[in-house]
Amino acid sequence: MELHRFYSSLAIRNDRTRKIVLLLIDGLGGLSHENYGYKTELEYANHPTLDRLASRGATGMLTPVLPGVTPGSGPAHMALFGMDPISLNIGRGVLEALGIGIVPGSTDVLARGNFCTVDDNGVIIDRRAGRISTDICEERLSLLRDIRVPGCDIELHAVRDHRFVLRLKGSDLNGDIGNTDPGTVGRKPKAASALTRRAEATAGLVNAFVDQALNRLKGPFAANALVLRGFSMLPGIPGFDELYGLRSAALAIYPMYKGLARVVGMDILNCGNDFSDQLRTLKTHWDDYDYFFIHYKYTDSCGEDGEFLSKAHHIETLDSSIGPLISLEPAVLAVTGDHSTPAALKSHSWHPVPLLLVSPTCRRDGSTAFTESVCARGGLGTLESKYLMGLLLAHALRLEKFGA
């Protein structure tokens, strides 16, 4: 049985009192940095409130996917929402759409598009079309917007630079389609090919679009062609309400995270531009929901930029602002990250992520701080992120006994 269905089978519904809060600090986990006494960002930062929470709760470590595997935001969040991130991996096209605020319908097919530059023979000579500006990307897309293909509606959305999203809307589409992007210069874009029988008709629609598009883009200039990849549809995931009987809401500022929350059926609350705004919104809607997902972005961005001190600083900002959340006294508060983004690596990484769980029903483990080294020895042990949802439900007394 799929993990989320197993937890679902045990879920106790209609409890409107015991609130669950998942405070997700994006890219939280760090790496010992030689310039900072081999401390991680979290070890270096001063965060007395989180430390106090740790002493009232239990800590542990989350492995986002499997040991050694560095996750993108998609699988990392899906796991924290209780889904197996390998079998329910969200395709690139869908993620790209979520990232710009589009939540695909369940029958849509999405693909990530790149403008590229080809020579007179149609051979790709620049896979990113010289990284044209987003304005030029918009301009090129406007040439393609009135292309009609019988059998589906087509939408095109600029992302950034040479990147865009292709959305096919129809009633009988299928996303099992291979990339038209050959993945290298020196080759022509490929035709879209159906990877399964059921996708043959959709592949035909894609090729009908691409043929017309290539005709319109032709010319002795950059961005005179396009390639598509990551054809995908929304995985059929039931919402939190259906699965767990949870009225759930997301407090996220960036489109990607709002989109990922929508995939599991959360309401997206309008929550301003910073963490204090997010917490004010939380308070306003406290009675309306049973589960709140709060997404704190800045730690990840600083990690990606290699900014150790900024990342530590954003942890401190969060720590000093978290009071209003604690005052609401959620039945279960989990503080963790979707993955590690160590400044030392300037990228997402595979390292486990610190987890802090505070609840009247948690077994206190004597943790005295919220750091990687404390969490690695914490009472919750090291577990895959996909099990967190079960822990949250359990500590909120929202899972019934399994078996007699």
Instruction: Tell me whether residue 129 or residue 399 sits nearer to a copy of itself (CB atom).
Output: 399
What are the structure tokens assigned to 1, written together? 């049985």
Minimum distance of a copy of itself from residue 332's CB (angstroms): 11
Minimum distance of a copy of itself from residue 239's CB (angstroms): 20
Instruction: Tell me whether residue 126 or residue 365 sits nearer to a copy of itself (CB atom).
Output: 365
Please write down the HEC assignment for all residues of 161-190.
CCEEEEEEECCCCCCCECCCCCCCCCCCCC
Within 220-338, strands assigned E span: 225-232, 248-251, 267-268, 291-296, 332-336
CA 77 to chain centre: 5
* List 52, 72, 255, 274, residue binding a copy of itself (CB under 8 A): 72
> Do 233 and 53 touch, CB atoms closer than 8 A?
no
Query: Does 286 contact a copy of itself by CB under 8 A?
Result: no
Minimum distance of a copy of itself from residue 256's CB (angstroms): 9
* List 160, 242, 363, 368, residue binding a copy of itself (CB under 8 A): 363
Query: Does 402 contact a copy of itself by CB under 8 A?
Result: yes
Query: Does 75 contact a copy of itself by CB under 8 A?
Result: yes
Distance CA 299, CA 213 (A): 40
Spell out the residues 6+ positions from residue 329 whose beta carbon is closer than 8 angstroms to its own.
none
Q: What part of residues 13-52 is at the interface with a copy of itself (CB under 8 A)?
A: 29-32, 38, 40
Distance CA 127, CA 114 (A): 8
Question: What DSSP element (H or E) covers 298?
Answer: helix 298-304
Instruction: Tell me whether residue 271 or residue 391 sits nearer to a copy of itself (CB atom).
Output: 391
Query: Does 254 contact a copy of itself by CB under 8 A?
Result: no
Instruction: Tell me whether residue 13 or residue 283 sits nearer to a copy of itself (CB atom).
Output: 13
- Beta bridge partners, 118, equal 124
Spell out the residues 6+ positions from residue 51 whose beta carbon is closer than 8 angstroms to its own.
368, 369, 370
Instruction: Tell me whether residue 145 or residue 401 sits nearer to a copy of itself (CB atom).
Output: 401
* List 86, 125, 143, 191, residue binding a copy of itself (CB under 8 A): 86
* List 14, 68, 186, 197, residue binding a copy of itself (CB under 8 A): 68
What are the structure tokens assigned to 52, written together? 């106090």
Instruction: Tell me whether residue 40 or residue 317 sits nearer to a copy of itself (CB atom).
Output: 40
Q: What part of residues 373-392 is at the interface with a copy of itself (CB under 8 A)?
A: 373, 376-383, 387-392
Minimum distance of a copy of itself from residue 134's CB (angstroms): 19
- Beta bridge partners, 193, equal none
For tokens 């503080």, the residue is 335
Instruction: Tell me whether residue 3 or residue 206 sits nearer to a copy of itself (CB atom).
Output: 3
